[in-house]
């Protein structure tokens, strides 16, 4: 067991940072933040700062990767060297390769890829600052970048983690809670279709705890889903006001 | 998806709707599992596992190395997987691709999170010298469900691993004659399901993997807790399907564990 120097949850059930067990970190989302990309979005979830950009659908390079019946979704999850305490080499780590794969697979079910055969949709997620839960925040912001690029989708994918810290199930773990806690369950979800498109877990949970953790993450997903929709609308409200002037 | 695979998917899905499979198994049947330990004499530990026609060889090597700065009192565990080109026409030579990396990381997660190896016992000199356990997964024949086969093989190889005996004298490590077993304290078993047309089948073989919508691996440690999960593939699961799979995984894991852990 890891040694716990300071309590992560106090006697009133308040976590470090002042949150309750089912409370998300303060989250800000913005859509359409980059000029060159077809779609882009930015999220701040606690100390996480993540940018996502979408290019495409466009011609695939190299050409032999083109699929005859649908578009090829490509995804790169990448962390900036300065995003963590100790400098991270900019070369893609094994963790980043795995996360790129699971993030791509979490978003693919939401996109009508069959509308754009022989093309590719390239998605780039850049973690500028990481403080736990970046794969989930990355998915939440990437779905918005895809929507901003005008790519037809079945639903907005949204992601959030739940975990176990000092014997208690909590929502949206930060870095300290993740490292010192007993378990972490990241999950991505399409609320309108009731479909879970990413599920991972590390740590140790009984079946009962696991079920509770899933339900807790789903609650978090639903809250974030509303913020996603608000952020998407906000972009167009601003445009309309500009037109009035 | 090619035309042939589409035809196959229809056939497999129709069978699964009736609770049957192309190779005659039922939805919750594993293929036959054969475990052979100590097949490579030069490795500190090794095991060869046959899961139906899927064949995986795992070798464990132990070396002296440096600990990570955040865990100065613990040995180091690394898992690597090679999808050797001789195992399948779809495997190509070169550095591990995302599938090989995912395989290695899922096997790693099961062993690490269940605390299968007591890493504190592998510390030679805090902050300076520890034992490094290299687990190398070598896929020799690909007929589906590499994760479960590799996880069983890795566990069997660890149980079969002998460390050298040593003394630490003035910062120098003196190797003594004789060997001691690796301190293994939990037995994680991975159980994988394939989802095809809204039905789940355990231990998918190659033809099922080619047509599956998505994949779910649940790793169970020795006292029945879940210690790792990985969803793969471009489909989705419902909460109900996941919880049902977790229940079945717990049962199956204890059956498979008996093949590796005697007594």
Q: pLDDT for B9-28, tens place per residue?
A: 999 999 999 999 999 999 99
Q: Is the pLDDT of residue B50 over 80?
A: yes
Instruction: Evaluate whether A219 touches B238 at the Cβ level (below 8 Å).
Output: no
Q: Is the pLDDT of residue A243 over 90?
A: no
CB contact under 8 A, A109 and B1: no
Cβ-based contacts of B216 with chain A (< 8 Å): 199
Distance from CA of A69 to the nearest CA of B (A): 8
Question: What's the pLDDT band for B5 if we cut at 50, 70, 90?
Answer: confident
Q: Residue A210: phi, psi to the nearest 5?
A: -60, -45
Distance from CA of B5 to the nearest CA of A (A): 14
pLDDT digits (tens, 9 = 90+) for B213-223: 999 999 999 99
Q: Is the pLDDT of residue B129 over 60?
A: yes
User: CB distance from B224 to chain A under 8 Å?
Assistant: yes
Region A212-222 average pLDDT? 97
Distance from CA of B258 to the nearest CA of A (A): 21
- CA dihedral A93→A96→A101→A104, nearest 10 degrees, is -150
Region A18-43 average pLDDT? 97
Between strands A183-190 and A48-59, the pairing is: unpaired
Q: Which residues of A218-244 are buried (b: 16+ CB within 10 A; e: fewer)?
A: bebbebbbebbeebbeebeeeeeeeee
The domain locations on chain A are 27-236
User: CB distance from A1 to chain B under 8 Å?
Assistant: no
Question: Considering only residues 130 to 149 of chain A, which have any Cβ-Cβ distance to chain B shorter than 8 Å?
Answer: none
Task: Give the closest residue to B56 by CA, choosing from B130, B156, B142.
Answer: B142
Q: Is the pLDDT of residue A33 over 90?
A: yes
Interface test with chain B among A112, A186, A204, by most B beta carbons within 10 Å: A204
Query: Which residue from A100, A194, A210 is facing B238, i.e. has the nearest CB?
Result: A194
What's the pLDDT score for residue A55? 98
Q: Is the pLDDT of residue B80 over 60?
A: yes
Task: Give the closest residue to A8 by CA, choosing from A166, A211, A235.
Answer: A166
Measured in residues, chain B has a length of 263
Comparing B175 with A168, the larger pLDDT belongs to A168
What's the pLDDT score for residue A232? 95
Cβ-based contacts of B1 with chain A (< 8 Å): 69
SS (H, E, C) chain A: CCCCCCCCECCCCCECCCCCCCCCCCEEEEECCCCCCCEEEEEEECCEEEEEEEEEEEECCCHHHCCCCCCEEEEEEEECCCCCCCCCCCCCCHHHHHHHHHHHHHHHHHECHHHCCCEEEEEEEEEEECCCCHHHHHHHHHHHHHHHCCCCECCCCEEEEEEEECCEEEECCCHHHHHHCCEEEEEEEECCCCEEEEEEEEEEECHHHHHHHHHHHHHHHHHHHHHHHHHHHHHHHHHHHHHHC
CATH architecture of the domain with range B23-260: 2-Layer Sandwich (3.30)
Query: How many Cβ pairs within 8 Å bridge chains A and B?
Result: 93
Cβ-based contacts of B101 with chain A (< 8 Å): 94, 97-98, 101
Question: What's the pLDDT band for A237 if we cut at 50, 70, 90?
Answer: confident
Q: Is the domain defined by A27-236 classed in CATH 3.40.1160.10?
A: no
Question: What's the pLDDT band for A238 if we cut at 50, 70, 90?
Answer: confident
The domain locations on chain B are 23-260
Between strands B129-141 and B76-83, the pairing is: parallel
Region A30-58 average pLDDT? 97
Instruction: Evaluate whether B129 touches B64 at the Cβ level (below 8 Å).
Output: yes
Interface test with chain A among B102, B107, B234, by most A beta carbons within 10 Å: B234
Comparing A245 with A71, the larger pLDDT belongs to A71
Distance from CA of B48 to the nearest CA of A (A): 25
pLDDT digits (tens, 9 = 90+) for B165-214: 887 777 777 888 888 999 999 999 999 999 999 999 999 999 999 999 99
CB contact under 8 A, A109 and B236: yes
What's the pLDDT score for residue A118? 96
What's the pLDDT score for residue A86? 93
What's the pLDDT score for residue A5? 59
Region B60-67 average pLDDT? 95
Specify which residues B81 forms β-bridges with.
Answer: B137
Cβ-based contacts of B104 with chain A (< 8 Å): 94
Q: Is the pLDDT of residue A135 over 90?
A: yes
Nearest CA in chain A to B69: A86
Q: Is the pLDDT of residue A3 over 60?
A: no
Angstrom CA distances, A181 to A162, A167, A202, stand at 11, 8, 10
What's the pLDDT score for residue B3? 73
Instruction: Evaluate whether A139 touches A106 at the Cβ level (below 8 Å).
Output: yes
What's the pLDDT score for residue A89? 96
* Mean pLDDT (chain B, rounded): 94
Region A50-60 average pLDDT? 96
Region B53-68 average pLDDT? 96
Residue B152: enclosing H or E segment and its boundaries? helix B146-159
Alpha carbon B251 to its chain's center: 18
What's the pLDDT score for residue B18? 95
User: How many whole angstroms separate alpha carbon A14 and alpha carbon B144?
Assistant: 47
CB contact under 8 A, B229 and A102: no
Query: Which residue from B104, B109, B232 is facing A202, i.e. has the nearest CB?
Result: B109
Q: Is the pLDDT of residue A4 over 70?
A: no
pLDDT digits (tens, 9 = 90+) for B81-115: 999 999 999 999 999 999 999 999 999 999 999 99
CB contact under 8 A, A108 and B234: yes
CB contact under 8 A, A101 and B98: yes
User: CB distance from B222 to chain A under 8 Å?
Assistant: no
Q: Is the pLDDT of residue A40 over 70?
A: yes
What's the pLDDT score for residue B222? 92
Interface test with chain B among A96, A105, A107, A139, by most B beta carbons within 10 Å: A105
Region A127-141 average pLDDT? 98
Question: What's the pLDDT band for B263 if we cut at 50, 70, 90?
Answer: low
Give the rounded percent of residues in chain B with a pLDDT score beyond 90: 89
User: CB distance from A218 to chain B under 8 Å?
Assistant: yes
Question: What's the pLDDT band for B1 if we cut at 50, 70, 90?
Answer: low
Distance from CA of B151 to the nearest CA of A (A): 15
Region A135-156 average pLDDT? 98
Least confident span in A81-85, A103-107, B163-167: B163-167
* Mean pLDDT (chain A, rounded): 95
Measured in residues, chain A has a length of 245
Rama region for A153: left / alpha / beta (φ>0; ψ in -120 to 50; rest): beta
């Amino acid at each position: 067991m890891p040694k716990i120097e300071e309590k992560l949850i106090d006697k009133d059930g308040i976590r470090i940072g002042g949150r309750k067990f089912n409370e998300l970190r303060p989250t800000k989302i913005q859509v359409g933040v980059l000029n060159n990309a077809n779609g882009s979005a930015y999220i701040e979830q606690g100390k996480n700062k993540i940018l996502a950009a979408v290019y495409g659908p466009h011609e695939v390079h190299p050409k032999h990767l083109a699929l005859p019946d649908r578009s090829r979704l490509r995804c790169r999850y990448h962390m900036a060297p300065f995003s963590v305490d100790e400098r991270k080499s900019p070369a893609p780590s094994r963790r980043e390769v795995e996360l790129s794969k699971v993030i791509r697979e979490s978003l693919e079910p939401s996109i009508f890829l069959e509308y754009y055969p022989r093309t590719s949709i390239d998605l780039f997620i850049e973690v500028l600052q990481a403080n736990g839960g970046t794969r989930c925040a990355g998915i939440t912001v990437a779905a918005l970048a895809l929507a901003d690029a005008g790519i037809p989708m079945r639903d907005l994918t949204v992601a959030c983690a739940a975990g176990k810290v000092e014997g208690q199930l909590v929502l949206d773990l930060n870095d300290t809670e993740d490292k010192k806690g007993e378990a972490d369950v990241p999950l991505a979800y399409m609320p309108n279709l009731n479909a879970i498109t990413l599920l991972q877990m590390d740590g140790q949970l009984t079946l009962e705890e696991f079920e509770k953790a899933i339900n807790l993450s789903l609650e978090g997903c639903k809250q974030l889903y509303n913020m996603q929709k608000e952020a998407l609308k906000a972009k167009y409200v601003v445009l309309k006001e500009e037109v009035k002037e | 998806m090619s035309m042939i695979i589409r035809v196959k998917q229809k056939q497999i899905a129709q069978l699964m709707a009736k609770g049957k499979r192309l190779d005659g198994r039922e939805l919750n049947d594993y293929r036959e599992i054969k475990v052979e330990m100590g097949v490579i004499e030069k490795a500190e530990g090794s095991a060869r596992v046959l899961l139906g026609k899927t064949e995986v060889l795992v070798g464990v090597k132990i070396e002296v190395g440096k600990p990570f700065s955040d865990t100065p009192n613990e040995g180091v565990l690394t898992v690597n997987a090679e999808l050797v080109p001789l195992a399948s026409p779809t495997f190509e030579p070169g550095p591990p691709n995302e599938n090989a990396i995912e395989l290695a990381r899922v096997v790693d997660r099961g062993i690490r999170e269940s605390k299968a190896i007591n890493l504190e016992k592998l510390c030679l000199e805090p902050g300076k010298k520890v034992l490094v356990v290299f687990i190398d997964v070598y896929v020799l024949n690909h007929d589906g469900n590499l994760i479960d086969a590799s996880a069983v093989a890795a566990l069997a190889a660890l149980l079969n691993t002998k460390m050298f005996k040593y003394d630490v004298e003035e910062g120098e490590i003196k190797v003594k004659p004789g060997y001691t077993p690796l301190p293994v304290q939990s037995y994680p078993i991975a159980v994988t399901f394939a989802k095809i047309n809204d039905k789940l089948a355990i231990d998918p073989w190659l033809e099922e993997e080619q047509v599956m919508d998505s994949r779910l691996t649940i790793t169970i440690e020795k006292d029945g807790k879940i210690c790792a999960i990985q969803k793969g593939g471009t489909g989705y699961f419902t909460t109900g399907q996941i919880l049902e799979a977790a229940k079945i995984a717990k049962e199956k894991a204890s059956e498979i564990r008996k093949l590796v852990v005697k007594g």
